[in-house]
Structure 1
Amino acid sequence: MRVGDLDVLGVPDGIGHVRPAELYLAGGKRPEELGKGGRDEDWAEHRDLCLPDGRLEMPVGTFLIRTGDRVILVDAGYGPQAPASVSGTRLMDNLARAGVAPHDVTDVVLTHLHMDHIGWSAVDGVATFPRAVYRCHAADWRYFVETSGTEDARYREVAAATLAPIADRFTTWSGDETLAPGVDAVVAAGHTPGCTTVVLSSGGERTVLIGDVVHHPVQLLDDAWARVVDVDERQARDTQVRLVDEFIRDGTPVVGAHFPGLRPGRIVVDGSGRRQWAPSD
Structure 2
Amino acid sequence: MNSNNLGKPKTGDLVPSRYALRIGEIDVLVVSDGVLPLPTATMATNADPADRATWLDDMFLPPDAFDWPLNVALVRSGDQNILIDSGLGGEYPGFPRAGQLPSRLEAAGIELASVTDIVITHMHMDHVGGLLVDGVKGRLRPDVRIHVAAAEVKFWESPDFSRTAMPPSVPPVLRSAATRFFNEYQSQLRIFEEESEVARGVIVRRTGGHTPGHSVVCLASGGDQLTFAGDAIFPVGFDHPDWHNGFEHDPEESVRVRIGLLRELAATGGLLVATHLPFPSVGRVAVNGDAFRWVPVFWDY
User: Aligned partners of 2:291, 2:207: CA distance in 1, in Å?
Assistant: 25
Answer whether contact 2:88 2:99 (CA < 8 A) is retained. no
Aligned to 2:225: 206
Q: Which SS does the other structure have where 1:95 is aligned?
A: helix
The answer for the alignment partner of 1:73 in structure 2 is 83
Could you say which residue in structure 1 is the equivalent of 2:141?
130
In structure 2, the residue matched to 1:23 is: 40
Q: Quote the residue 1:40 is aligned against.
A: 53
The 4+ residue runs of structure 1 with deviation greater than 6 A are none
* TM-score after normalising by structure 2: 0.79
Matches within 5 A, 1:77-88: 77-87=87-97
Q: Counterpart in 2 of 1:235?
A: 253
User: What does residue 183 of structure 1 align with?
Assistant: 202
Do structure 1's residue 4 and structure 2's residue 24 form an aligned pair?
yes
Shifted more, 38-47 versus 236-245: the winner is 38-47
Structure 2 match to 1:278? 295
* Structure 1 residues 240-272: Cα deviation after superposition (integer angstroms, max 9, x where no partner): 1111111112222211111111321112246x6
- Residue in structure 1 matched with residue 17 of structure 2 by the alignment: none
Code of the aligned partner of 1:102: L
Q: Is the 8 A contact 1:38 1:226 kept in 2?
A: no
Look up the equivalent residue of 2:269 and give its one-letter code: G
SS in 1 for 2:130: coil
- Please tell me whether the aligned partners of residues 34 and 100 of structure 2 are also in contact (alpha carbons under 8 angstroms): yes
- CA distance, structure 2, for counterparts of residue 273 and residue 149 of structure 1: 32
Q: CA deviation at 1:183?
A: 0.5
Number of equivalenced pairs: 268
Indicate which of 120, 123, 138 corresponds to 2:130: 120
CA drift of 1:41 comes to 1.9
Q: Deviations over 1:117-142 (max 9, x none)?
A: 00122345972523421111111111
Separation in structure 2 between the aligned mates of residue 148 and residue 133 of structure 1, nearest angstrom: 24
Q: Is the 8 A contact 2:88 2:98 kept in 1?
A: no
Post-superposition offset of 1:26:
6.6
CA distance in 2, matches of 1:24, 1:222: 14
Contact 1:24 1:34 in 2 (8 A): no
In 1, the alpha carbon distance for the partners of 2:136 and 2:108 equals 23
What is the deviation of 1:40? Answer: 2.1
Q: Residue in 2 aligned with 1:106?
A: 116
Residue 147 of structure 1 is matched in structure 2 by: 158
Deviates more, 1:91-100 or 1:110-119: 91-100
1:251 maps to amino acid: G
Unaligned runs of 5+ in 1: none
Structure 2: segments with no counterpart, 5+ residues: 1-20, 163-170
Q: How far does residue 214 in structure 1 lie from its aligned partner after superposition?
A: 1.7
Q: CA deviation at 1:70?
A: 1.0
Q: 2:51 and 2:183 mapped to 1: Cα distance?
A: 36
Post-superposition offset of 1:220: 2.1
Counterpart of 2:103, as a letter, is D
Q: Which residue of 1 aligns with 2:106?
A: 96
Contact 2:89-2:99 at 8 Å conserved across structures: no
2:207 aligned partner, one-letter code: A
Q: Aligned partners of 1:110 and 1:38: how far apart in 2?
A: 34
Q: Distance in 2 between matches of 1:161 and 1:153?
A: 12
CA distance in 2, matches of 1:24, 1:54: 7
Mapped partners of 1:24, 1:107: distance in 2: 36
- What percent of counterpart residues are identical? 27
Partner of residue 224, structure 1:
242
Contact 1:10 1:262 in 2 (8 A): yes
8 Å contact from structure 1 (residues 256, 262) kept in 2: no
